[in-house]
């Protein structure tokens, strides 16, 4: 399955509480994504909470855009990526 980095901007900042409410919000996104074969692997959040960089597995960028719309999430840019593991070369 192809992997993608999805860049998002949250003008008001991303505020997901670290409690049951935040867990429920994440579960809703995961469930919506699953219906389109999209898997949210993890995200990095900027210190100011205005940008996220999310790693996804998905059949296509269009599937990511579709699920983002259903989840009311912005999408600035989608880039297909492959992993580079520096420890691979340590043999």
| CATH number for the domain harbouring residue 21 | 3.30.70.3090
Q: Tally the domains of the chain.
A: 1
Q: Are 4 and 58 in contact (CB under 8 A)?
A: yes
Using the predicted structure, report yes or no on whether residue 91 has a pLDDT greater than 80: no
> 0.85 exceeded by the pTM?
yes
pLDDT confidence of residue 90: 81
Q: Where are the beta strands (DSSP E) in the chain?
A: 3-9, 39-45, 51-57, 77-81
Query: Tens digit of pLDDT for each residue in 17-37?
Result: 999 999 999 999 999 999 999
pLDDT tens per residue, range 43-71: 999 999 999 999 999 999 999 999 999 99
What confidence score (pLDDT) does residue 87 get?
87
């Amino acid at each position: 399955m192809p992997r993608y980095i999805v860049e998002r901007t949250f003008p008001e900042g991303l505020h997901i509480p670290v409690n049951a409410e935040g867990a429920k919000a994440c579960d809703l996104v995961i469930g919506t994504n699953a219906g389109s074969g999209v898997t949210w692997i993890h995200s990095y959040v900027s210190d100011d909470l205005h940008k996220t960089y999310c790693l996804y597995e998905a059949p296509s960028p269009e599937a990511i855009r579709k699920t983002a719309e259903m989840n009311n999430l912005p999408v600035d840019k989608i880039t297909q990526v492959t992993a580079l593991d520096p420890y691979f070369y340590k043999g």
